[in-house]
Amino acid sequence: MKATRAFVAALAVLASGAAFAAEAPPGASSCSGCHATNPNAGTTVPPLNGRSAGDIADAMNEYKAGKRPGTIMDRLAKGFSEEEIKAIAAWYAAQK
């Protein structure tokens, strides 16, 4: 009986963690306005889903620092903190 309760409790904790991990961090939803979630969308803007978190964060930081030219990304990136950039990059990297 105790083992069953422990198992159910563990499942509840794991399920809540999975739901939390699937939730997009603040700011991530604005990316999908230009970055299609479908890799076959036929746009010149690259998709972010499944890309390396390091690559996404590096690009965002380059835009933010003015080291990478952009039409709008250079302005958008300046609005994100380092922690927000890391969270957004990690979330998109986890999306497959």
- 26-94 topology per CATH: Cytochrome Bc1 Complex; Chain D, domain 2 (1.10.760)
Contact in structure between 35 and 45 (CB atoms under 8 Å)? yes
Query: Domain limits of the chain?
Result: 26-94
Residue 85: pLDDT over 90: yes
User: Does pLDDT of 11 surpass 80?
Assistant: no
pLDDT given at position 31: 92
Tell me what pLDDT residue 19 has: 37
Q: What is the mean pLDDT of residues 11-40?
A: 70
Banded pLDDT at 80 (limits 50, 70, 90): very high
Three-state secondary structure call for residue 27: coil
Half-sphere exposure of 74 (CA within 13 A, CB side): 7
Please check the confidence at residue 20 and state whether its pLDDT lies above 90.
Answer: no
